[in-house]
């Protein structure tokens, strides 16, 4: 049987994101980027940027809109 993962999503189309930095000087404001289709993102939770959620993709941290994730990605399924 297969179950949906609540954490990992496969991008079906490109997704706009804000890349977050790790330095103390960066208060969450970062660079806008486009994550290409075919990548996997892992949900991290609510972002420090109002209205966004945090995800990790290929080891980097990003903030995205929840609605974009819902419209442009699908949950990955895991084999039990």
- Rounded CA-CA distance 15/40 in Å is 11
Please give the model's pTM, rounded to 2 decimal places: 0.79
Q: Is the pLDDT of residue 61 over 80?
A: yes
Residue 24 has pLDDT above 60, yes or no: no
CATH of domain 2-79: 2.30.30
* Residue-level pLDDT at 3: 40
CB 40 within 8 Å of CB 77: no
Of 69, 68, 63, the residue nearest 33 (C-alpha): 63
d(CA 80, CA 77): 9
């Amino acid at each position: 049987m297969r179950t949906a993962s609540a954490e990992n999503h496969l991008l079906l189309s490109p997704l706009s994101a804000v890349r977050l930095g790790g330095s103390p000087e960066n208060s969450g404001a970062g660079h806008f980027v486009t994550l290409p289709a075919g990548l996997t993102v892992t949900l991290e939770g609510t972002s420090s940027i109002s209205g966004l959620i945090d995800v990790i993709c290929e080891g980097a941290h990003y903030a995205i809109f929840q609605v974009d994730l819902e419209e442009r990605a699908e949950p990955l399924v895991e084999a039990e």
